[in-house]
Amino acid sequence: MKNQNGTFKDWANANVSRQIEDTVLYGYYTLYSVILFCVFLWIPFVYFYYEEKDDDDTGKCTQIKTALKYTLGFVVICALLLLIGAFVPLNVPNNKNSTEWEKVKFLFEELGSSHGLAALSFSISSLTLIGMLAAITYTAYGMSALPLNLIKGTRSAAYERLENTEDIEEVEQHIQTIKSKSKDGRPLSVRDKRTLKQLEERLRALKKRERHLEFIENSWWTKLCGALRPLKIIWGIFFILVALLFVISLFLSNLDKALHSAGVDSGFIIFGANLSNPLNMLLPLLQTVFPLDYILITIIIMYFIFTSMAGIRNIGIWFFWIRLYKIRRGRTRPQALLFLCMILLLIVLHTSYMIYSLAPQYVMYGSQNYLIESNVTYDDHKGNSTLSVPKRCDADAPEDQCTVTRTYLFLHKFWFFSAAYYFGNWAFLGVFLIGLVVSCCKGKKSVIEGVDEDDSDISDDEPSVYSA
């Protein structure tokens, strides 16, 4: 709506500006409502439906009823979040002696004046907080694990198969040694029976591993991966450079808030950027040429998705110290896939605030400029003159000259969420550094890593060609 010299375009009058802002706001209402529907209704219902489907004696109607019963709990949680956000006003009544009815009336006036913004903002911020925890756990680790795994590659299938064959021969030799003790008719001791049972289970696992290694060694996918090995190394170097760019930008932005923000009570809101970071300078510049900024934002989001999936695949899905599911290509349970979808949905939701942390100027005002009066002195005529000079919009700009983005209003409606995001960014940086050290110290991954754990309903007798 503004020119680069800081003036409004001819068509951008007050009414048109307000219509555009309302349209964008209602667009966010719609998209965020879809997210609430997926997180609190659709994904829980499908998850519990598949949980009931595991029981063969359960009919379709019983599965649907049970799934709806458990899903009702998530709907109640969603309703509570909306009510808390709607009826906890950010402003208090001026009259301390007001009656209870006047206080209730004030709550509804606050709700009506914000068009439900606070209610939806509180719910989305709560989900974003959960997404922040998922990003700290999975995305931060994935940002270091994905590029280093691409650079290091996997172990040779032929070499692993040779090692596995040696292990099979060794276990068979131990089994023969124990069985030889009973050739003369003497029964085996309890200890020998227990050892024999363990060795037989070990032998079955090794033979199963042998079948996988033989299949992988002869598959076309392994040969293709070998041919693309130089390309993987290039992508790994690119991803680690992008990760370092994000980490440096996030560190500078958080350091700026720590040094120059209004404090924790304001949610570490900063008035103007004092320490510039690369992304904060690049995005407003790209916005002047449509659609370069959208392309970069899409690349950033896709990068977060890929690194998050890499982190989830390496770590698995956990509930505190209990591993719930392991993600494996072609071998993942439906419930695990639903968990994966929900985690990625929450992480992408948190990406909105992550982009603000990386580029606060872009998220708040974009490339908007406004005019300020500047005194200019001319030496020849020994006089002064006042000129209007364009300046980049910041928090000190007049409200009628700079329009704050609607997404910023969603992110900073409640100061305590902003404070939590600030401390979460420091935790994100710490986990990234820890993950970087761990990934550097770990050796190459097995070419069939993850196929030994029997946590899938899908049979392991038919190895996936994509396991490499």
pLDDT at residue 463, as a whole number: 47
Instruction: State pLDDT tens for residues 134-158.
Output: 999 999 999 988 888 888 877 777 7
Distance of alpha carbon 424 from alpha carbon 132, whole angstroms: 7
Query: Which is it for the CA torsion 166, 170, 176, 180, positive or negative?
Result: positive
Q: What is the mean pLDDT of residues 421-436?
A: 92
Helix (H) or strand (E) holding 333: none
- pLDDT tens digits, one per residue of 191-250: 878 888 888 888 888 888 888 787 777 777 777 877 888 898 898 898 899 899 889 989
Q: Name the residue among 212, 43, 140 with its Cα closest to residue 430.
A: 140
pLDDT for 91: 52
Q: What is residue 138's predicted lDDT score, i.e. its pLDDT?
A: 92
40-49, 162-171, 295-304, 411-420: lowest mean pLDDT where?
A: 411-420
Q: Tokens 């990934």, residue?
A: 439
CA dist., res. 460 & res. 463, Å (int): 6
Q: How confident is the model at residue 159 (pLDDT cuts 50, 70, 90)?
A: confident
Per-residue pLDDT band for 188 (boundaries 50, 70, 90) equals confident
Neighbours of 421 (CB within 10 A): 23
Percentage of the chain beyond pLDDT 90 is 6
Mean predicted lDDT score pLDDT of the chain: 78
Query: Which among 90, 209, 222 is positioned nearest to 155, based on CA atoms?
Result: 222
Model's pTM, two decimal places? 0.76
Q: How far is CA 44 from CA 57, 161, 319, 328, 340, in A?
A: 22, 42, 16, 22, 12
